[in-house]
Structures are given as C-alpha cells and as structure tokens.
Amino acid sequence: MPRPLTPLWLAAPSRFARLSRAQARLVLIGLALLIAASLFALSVPAPDGASDPAQTDLNLYQTIVEGVRAGGDYYSVAARSLRAGDFPLRPFVTFRLPTLAMIEAALPHGAIVTLLDVLALGVFVAWGLRLREAFARRLPLVVALMLLAGGMLGFVQSDLAAFHEIWAGLLIALSLALRRPGRWVEAVAFGMMAMLIRETAALYVAIMAVLALVQGQRREALGWGATLGVFAVVVALHAHAVSEVVHATDPASPGWAGMLGFGFFAEAIAVSTVLTLFPLVVAAPLVALALAGWAAWESDLGLRVTVTLVAYAVLIALFGRADTFYWGLMIAPTLLVGLAFAPDGLRDLVRVAAQRRRITVTRVVR
C-alpha cells in the first residue's frame, strides 16, 4: 500500500487512502452507479393534484395550531382538520404527535420564530466547532461552513415554523454535533426531543444506540435505548388517543411504499437546500458526491453522520411518496458539508485505484 499523500483540505488522510486497489475500484464503481442513480431524479413523477403538497400540509398544521390555541382539544381539532382537508385519518400515524402543536399554541408566533432562529444558530455554532478538527486550513473550513449554511437555507424561514421536519432536522443535527465519546447525555436529550416532534427521528436514535453498542459504549447505548423505550410508550398513548376520534368510515392512507429510488432522495435534498438554485441535472449528482465525501472523513463523527445519512436515504428512496419530498429536511442541514470532504476522498480513491502492482526483485549473491 502506497504512503498516503499530504491531504488537500483535511487535517488527516481520508478513509479511502487506506483501501486496497481492489477496494478502491469497487468504491469508484459504486460511486459511479450512485451518481447515475441520482440522475433518475429527472424522471421522478410529480405529486398528484395541482396544489403544492408541502404548502397543503403546512396549512393543515397551522390550522391545527390555531384550533388548539382557541381552546380545542388537540386530537379533536386534528381529526376535524384532517377531514376538512380530505386527508386520511388511518392508520394513527397520519396524526402527528401533539408536541409541536401544543408548544406553538401556547406561545406567540414571534416567540416561536425566535426559538427556531436560536436553534438554527446553535446548530451552526456547534457544527462550526466540530468541523474545525476536520480541516487543516481556514479556507476549507469556510467552504464547509458555507455548505452548512446552504443546507440550512429552509430552516430559517419563519413561515415554515409549523413544519415538524424543520424542528426535528435541526435537533438531529445538534444532537450529532454535541455527541462525543464519553459525553452523550446532551445528544440523547436532543434526540428525544426530535422523536417527540417527528416520529421518523426514531431511526436516528436507533442508529446511535446500535453504534454505541457496537463500539462497546454500553452506558451510552442504554441511554439511547431508554429514550426509545419512552418513545414507544408515548406512541402507544398517541395511538389510543387517535382511536378515540377516528371513525371506521374515515379514509385510510394509501401507504408509504413509494419505491421511487435514490433519484427521489436526491431530488428531496435538492429542493430542501441551496441546491434548489441549480438545475436538477447538476444538483442530484452533488447529493451523491456529498454522501461520498462524508464517507471519506475518517472520524467517529464522520461515521455516525454517514450511517445516518445513508439510513434516511434508504428510508426516503423506499417509502417516500412524491408528495412527501420534505422528508429530506430531516437530514438536510449537514448533508452538503460532505462536499468539503469530497476533494480529498476522490483524489485518494483515484490514486489508489490507479496504482500498479509493485514487483520487488531481490538479488542474492552466493
């Protein structure tokens, strides 16, 4: 194995610098296939109906908040609003957990916007501190922070404050940034908050629990597992409350087995970040390169982010529907930062894959 070259941007050689020639070639082939798959974003079907599904859902959430603020019971208000908007009411997961609606109903809109801005600022500062350890110079750090800001473009829009994915995505990003070996309580707490706002955040918490267990961090794994146990109880109570307001004649959801593929995931990220300013034929491959960039950063944080991103990519590719593209907001804040790791990763991949076999000739003198 050749000696790793001096990193271009990173403080240490990328993970790909340690691969064998065969492994590097397999990774390059996989990356090429991933980029090709991302281009299927150009053929993703548009949502049914003339209205914007994100705006339609946002109007629903705002209506529910106003109903609760006026003194209504959350579940009765939600059921009435879902019926009025011709939304499905079955199964129970068509009802969001009441956490965000109850908080927003109890606080004035200005306070909610301020809280969202403070959370976004906290994510930016926390990640700024963590990214300093990744890069050797200031320029790549500045680029990484610009990419972080680009990923958070939609998270500082006050008119989206009723969107559950906005809050859960920021909380997941903050949880990732705060978690360090031996220091995980804060990360677990923010992960719990994310789950109580958007149920799909449970995937992130489960990933963190498994990784802690695999790495022998038993106390940390227990902490993540305990939050999943509490969350399971909350969901059971939520399901019971929903059953009290749903009728047998209420419409059921068509399901979530969209099977739209990686191209749909790439599109979901593109429309959720600054990549929406680029043509999709450019934005979609950049999503694939960002994933590869995160995989290239050899660190515990890089591993956790990569596994989280891949897991949500699979979730969205398999179960997302054309009208649920905003699921990409769950991981949008951090994904584009991977582009800052990509130069070193790609350079190392190509170098290792192109190396020739070395033949050592030993002269024996008798």
pLDDT of residue 49: 57
pLDDT tens-digit readout, 269-291: 999 999 999 999 999 999 999 99
pLDDT tens-digit readout, 171-217: 999 999 999 998 999 999 999 999 999 999 999 999 999 999 999 99
pLDDT tens-digit readout, 85-127: 999 999 999 999 999 999 999 999 999 999 999 999 999 999 9
Tokens of 190: 């923010």
Higher pLDDT, 258 or 212: 212
Residue 67: closest CA among 88, 85, 44: 85
Check whether 356 has a pLDDT greater than 70. yes
Round to whole Å and give the CA distance between 281 and 270.
10
Q: How many CA atoms lie within 13 A of 266 on its CB side?
A: 28
Check whether 128 has a pLDDT greater than 60. yes
DSSP H helical ranges for the chain: 21-38, 53-69, 74-84, 99-106, 109-131, 138-151, 164-178, 185-197, 202-214, 218-243, 261-272, 280-296, 300-319, 332-335, 338-354
Higher pLDDT, 3 or 243: 243
Domain boundaries, the chain: 26-247+256-354
Return the sign of the alpha-carbon dihedral for residues 213, 226, 125, 159.
Answer: positive
Round to whole Å and give the CA distance between 127 and 129.
5
Check whether 362 has a pLDDT greater than 70. no
Tokens of 167: 């809050």
Residue 216 Rama label (left phi>0; alpha psi -120 to 50; beta)? left
For residue 333, give the 3-state DSSP assignment: helix
Count of residues in the chain: 366
Residue 327 Cα distances to 198, 246, 273, 312, angstroms: 10, 25, 12, 9
Round to whole Å and give the CA distance between 230 and 126.
27
Share of the chain above pLDDT 90, in %: 82
pLDDT tens-digit readout, 147-183: 999 999 989 888 889 999 999 999 999 999 999 998 9
Rg for the chain, CA atoms, rounded: 23
Strand partners, 183: 180
Cis peptide bond prior to 91, omega within 30° of 0 = yes
Residues 6+ apart with CB under 8 A from 290: 335, 336, 337, 338, 339, 342
* Average pLDDT rounded to a whole number, residues 351-360: 75
For residue 27, give the 3-state DSSP assignment: helix
pLDDT tens-digit readout, 48-62: 654 566 678 889 999
Confidence of residue 325 (pLDDT cuts 50, 70, 90): confident
Check whether 365 has a pLDDT greater than 70. no
- The mean of the pLDDT values for the chain is 92
Round to whole Å and give the CA distance between 167 and 197.
7
Check whether 66 has a pLDDT greater than 70. yes
- Measure the CA dihedral 288/170/326/32, to 10°: 0
pLDDT of residue 56: 84
pLDDT of residue 2: 59
* Average pLDDT rounded to a whole number, residues 14-21: 93
Q: Which residue has the tokens 């974003």?
A: 41
Return the sign of the alpha-carbon dihedral for residues 237, 170, 326, 200.
Answer: negative
> What is the DSSP code string of 43-68?
GPPPPSSSS-HHHHHHHHHHHHHHHH
* Average pLDDT rounded to a whole number, residues 342-349: 96
pLDDT of residue 50: 46
Higher pLDDT, 365 or 97: 97
For residue 217, give the 3-state DSSP assignment: coil
DSSP 276: G
